[in-house]
Amino acid sequence: MSPVLEIRDLVKTYGDVRAVDGVSLTVGPGECLGIVGESGSGKSTLARCLLTLERPDSGDVLLEGRSLVGLRGGALKESRQRLQVVFQNPASSFNSKLTMFESLMEPLRIRGDVCPSFVDPGTPREVAVRLLDLVQLPKSVLDRKPGELSGGEKQRVAIARAISVEPTLMVFDEPTASLDVSIQARVLNLLQDLKDRLGISAVFISHDLSAVQFMSERSIVLRGGRIVDEFHRDELFDDGRDSYTRELIRLFED
Ligand SMILES: Nc1ncnc2c1ncn2[C@@H]1O[C@H](COP(=O)(O)OP(=O)(O)OP(=O)(O)O)[C@@H](O)[C@H]1O
């Protein structure tokens, strides 16, 4: 099957720093690819390039076979709607003046179609309640503003909002890093469940090797902007692992 996402020999430099240095990868339909690496390894730069928030120096990003590099105007806008991202800090994802109902429904309103195909049709409020139900939040959340919710609750609303427009590809960029440890596992379980139920194609970025292994069948390891290792979930502890991957494993075993 042809890949949903293909990145070909991507390079992005900032002055002398080669933040992404010749990365190639693919994500298949319904697959979640893990991207793991320490701080400064290039994970966020790679994510920004694939989300078209940053223009690479060279290389290509193809979504369902169509290049995103160099798109402008309406074509760029249309592509961005097909890519949804959940960032580390849920607080920055919401306008503090809007209720969760207003924030949650905004992408659907822009799309001009108030009901995703995976929930039963209804009024906007009913659809919003069904979306909240998917992320295990009560309907009372709808009338609250971001300041009245916990970080974990906000991140759940951010996840519901991102999946509501049925993106071609989801990018999870350290989605649990700012949450309490006790909440992190619950959000990861939720993501895993949604991914399986809705067949979402995704990239899951984290410095946390165990989170990446939990979420992704296949993962790549970034170091200095380059892919230094690639492993299937079951192969993480194999003898043949790159020394840098073994170092990451040791960090998480300590
Ligand atoms: N806008 C920028 N201007 C200059 N240098 C940058 C910029 N963005 C990233 N870099 C540099 O590019 C390299 C990769 O950074 P990047 O943020 O992509 O790594 P990361 O793996 O996402 O790190 P973290 O986990 O800390 O976010 C680093 O050396 C960083 O200092």
User: What pLDDT, in 10s, does the model give residues 42-75?
Assistant: 999 999 999 999 999 999 999 999 999 989 999 9
Which three-class secondary structure state does DSSP give residue 19? Answer: strand
- Token pair for residue 164? 């509501």
Distance in Å, CA 46 to ligand 1 centroid: 9
The last residue of one of the domains, among 142, 166, 190, is 166
Q: Please tell me whether residues 71 and 178 are part of one structural domain.
A: yes
Strands lying side by side in the sheet with 169-173: 83-86, 169-173, 202-206, 32-36, 218-223, 226-232
Q: Determine, yes or no, domain membership for 214.
A: yes
Give the tens place of pLDDT for each residue, 101-157. Answer: 999 999 888 888 778 889 999 999 999 999 999 999 999 999 999 999 999 999 999
Phi, psi of 202 (to 5 degrees): -150, 160
The last residue of one of the domains, among 119, 143, 166, is 166
- Per-position DSSP letters for 196-234, written without gaps between them: HHHT--EEEEES-HHHHHHH-SEEEEEETTEEEEEEEGG
Q: What is the Cα Rg of the chain in Å?
A: 18
Q: Is the CB of 39 under 6 A from ligand 1?
A: yes
Distance in Å, CA 211 to ligand 1 centroid: 21
- Is residue 254 pLDDT above 70, yes or no? no
Q: Is the CB of 237 under 6 A from ligand 1?
A: no
Complex-level ipTM beyond the 0.90 threshold: yes
Q: Please tell me whether residues 112 and 74 are part of one structural domain.
A: no
Query: Cβ contacts of residue 14 below 8 Å, gap of 6+?
Result: none
Q: Give the separation between CA 12 and CA 55, rounded to whole angstroms.
A: 8
Q: Give the separation between CA 37 and CA 221, rounded to whole angstroms.
A: 6
Q: Determine, yes or no, domain membership for 254.
A: yes
Bridge partner list, 103: none
For residue 128, what are the domain limits? 95-166
Q: Determine, yes or no, domain membership for 88.
A: no
Which of 12, 45, 46 to mutate for ligand 1's pocket (most ligand atoms within 8 Å of CB)?
45
The last residue of one of the domains, among 166, 181, 198, is 166
Nearest residue to 192 via CA among 168, 209, 217: 217
Q: Please tell me whether residues 154 and 175 are part of one structural domain.
A: no
Number of domains in the chain: 2
